[in-house]
Structure 1
Amino acid sequence: MSLDFTAVDFETANGFRGSPCAVGLVRVRGGVEVDSFYAEMRPPEGFDRFDPRHVEIHGIAAEQVRLAPRFADLFPRIRRFIGEDMMVAHNASFDVEVFESALEVSGLDSPGLRCLCSVKLSRNHYELASHALPASSACAGYSLTRHHYALDDARAAAAIVCDIAARSEQPDIEVLFAASDIPVEHVPAWQGERSRESAATRQVRPMQHLFDARRGDSPPSAMPDLMRWQDEGPQLQPNPEADPSGAFFGVHIVLTGTLGVPRAELKAVLAGLGAQTGSRVTGRTTLVVVGDGFSEADLGLPVEQTPALQSRKARDGLRRRAQGQLIRFVSEGALAAELGSDWPVPSAYPGAHETAETGAVLTG
Structure 2
Amino acid sequence: MSGWVAIDFETANCLRGSPCSVGLVKVKGGRIVEEWSSFIKPPDGYDHFEARNVAIHGITADDVRGAPGWRETLEGIVQFAGGTPLVAHNAAFDMGVLADACWASGLAVPDLRFACTLVLARRVWNGLLSYKLPVLADALGIELARHHDAGDDARAAAQVMLAALRRQGTDSLDHLLAVHKVRMGSFQGGVRQGCAYRGGAPRAPSPDADPDADPDNPFYGLTVCFTGSLPGMTRAEAAERIAALGARKAGDVTGSVDLLVLGGVQPHQLAPGATKTGKHLKAQKLRDAGHDITVIDHEEFFELLAAAEG
Give the TM-score category using the shorter length. 0.5 to 0.7
- Look up the match of 1:94: 93
- Look up the match of 2:81: 82
Residue 74 of structure 1 and its aligned partner are, at CA, apart by 1.9
Change (3 A) 1:268 1:129: closer
- Look up the match of 2:35: 36
- Look up the match of 1:292: none
Partner of 1:254: helix, strand, or coil?
A: coil
Q: Give, as a single letter, the amino acid of the residue that structure 2 aligns with 1:254.
A: A
Runs of 5+ unmatched residues, structure 2: 193-205, 218-232, 242-246, 251-308
- Look up the match of 2:144: 144
Query: Does the CA-based 8 Å contact 1:122-1:131 persist in structure 2?
Result: yes
Residue 187 of structure 1 and its aligned partner are, at CA, apart by 2.8
Instruction: Find the aligned partners of 1:39 and 1:169 in 2 and give their Cα distance.
Output: 33
Change (3 A) 1:266 1:92: same
Q: Give, as a single letter, the amino acid of the residue that structure 2 aligns with 1:174.
A: D
Query: Does the CA-based 8 Å contact 1:140-1:159 persist in structure 2?
Result: no
Instruction: Find the aligned partners of 2:14 and 2:59 in 1 and give their Cα distance.
Output: 14
- Percent same amino acid at aligned positions? 38
Q: Give, as a single letter, the amino acid of the residue that structure 1 aligns with 2:236.
A: E
- Look up the match of 1:254: 209
Partner of 2:92: helix, strand, or coil?
A: helix
Partner of 1:84: helix, strand, or coil?
A: coil
Q: Give, as a single letter, the amino acid of the residue that structure 1 aligns with 2:66.
A: L
Change (3 A) 1:268 1:10: closer
Residue 179 of structure 1 and its aligned partner are, at CA, apart by 1.2
Residue 252 of structure 1 and its aligned partner are, at CA, apart by 4.0
Instruction: Find the aligned partners of 2:85 and 2:45 in 1 and give their Cα distance.
Output: 30
Q: Give, as a single letter, the amino acid of the residue that structure 1 aligns with 2:153.
A: D
Cα-to-partner distance string for 1:298-337 (whole Å, 9 max, x where unaligned)? xxxxxxxxxxxxxxxxxxxxxxxxxxxxxxxxxxxxxxxx
- Look up the match of 1:153: 153
Q: Give, as a single letter, the amino acid of the residue that structure 2 aligns with 1:104.
A: W
Q: Give, as a single letter, the amino acid of the residue that structure 2 aligns with 1:139.
A: A
Instruction: Find the aligned partners of 2:87 and 2:240 in 1 and give their Cα distance.
Output: 38
Matched, 1:168 2:148: no
Instruction: Find the aligned partners of 1:253 and 1:266 in 2 and give their Cα distance.
Output: 15
Change (3 A) 1:269 1:33: closer
Cα-to-partner distance string for 1:223-244 (whole Å, 9 max, x where unaligned)? xxxxxxxxxxxxxxxxxxxxxx
Instruction: Find the aligned partners of 2:151 and 2:239 in 1 and give their Cα distance.
Output: 39
Query: How is 1:1-364 mapped onto 2 (pairs within 5 angstroms)?
Result: 1-2=1-2, 4-126=3-125, 127-190=127-190, 252-255=207-210, 256-257=213-214, 264-266=235-237, 278=248, 363-364=309-310
Q: Give, as a single letter, the amino acid of the residue that structure 2 aligns with 1:30.
A: G
Residue 163 of structure 1 and its aligned partner are, at CA, apart by 0.8
Query: Does the CA-based 8 Å contact 1:9-1:153 persist in structure 2?
Result: yes
Instruction: Find the aligned partners of 1:170 and 1:23 in 2 and give their Cα distance.
Output: 28
Paired residues, what number? Answer: 215
- Look up the match of 1:273: none
Query: Does the CA-based 8 Å contact 1:20-1:98 persist in structure 2?
Result: yes
Query: Does the CA-based 8 Å contact 1:42-1:48 persist in structure 2?
Result: yes
Query: Does the CA-based 8 Å contact 1:89-1:95 persist in structure 2?
Result: yes
Instruction: Find the aligned partners of 1:115 and 1:61 in 2 and give their Cα distance.
Output: 29
Change (3 A) 1:123 1:268: closer
Partner of 1:8: helix, strand, or coil?
A: strand
Residue 22 of structure 1 and its aligned partner are, at CA, apart by 0.3
Instruction: Find the aligned partners of 1:64 and 1:51 in 2 and give their Cα distance.
Output: 14
Instruction: Find the aligned partners of 2:123 and 2:101 in 1 and give their Cα distance.
Output: 31
Partner of 1:253: helix, strand, or coil?
A: coil
Q: Give, as a single letter, the amino acid of the residue that structure 1 aligns with 2:65.
A: R
Runs of 5+ unmatched residues, structure 1: 191-196, 199-250, 271-276, 281-362
Q: Give, as a single letter, the amino acid of the residue that structure 2 aligns with 1:171.
A: D
Cα-to-partner distance string for 1:18-72 (whole Å, 9 max, x where unaligned)? 1100000000001100001100011111111111100000000111111112112
Q: Give, as a single letter, the amino acid of the residue that structure 2 aligns with 1:18.
A: G
Change (3 A) 1:266 1:134: closer
Query: Does the CA-based 8 Å contact 2:30-2:162 persist in structure 1?
Result: yes
Partner of 1:111: helix, strand, or coil?
A: coil
Change (3 A) 1:111 1:268: closer
Instruction: Find the aligned partners of 2:53 and 2:97 in 1 and give their Cα distance.
Output: 15
Instruction: Find the aligned partners of 1:171 and 1:74 in 2 and give their Cα distance.
Output: 29
Backbone CA RMSD of aligned residues? 2.6
Instruction: Find the aligned partners of 2:209 and 2:235 in 1 and give their Cα distance.
Output: 12
Instruction: Find the aligned partners of 1:8 and 1:269 in 2 and give their Cα distance.
Output: 32
Query: Does the CA-based 8 Å contact 1:96-1:186 persist in structure 2?
Result: no
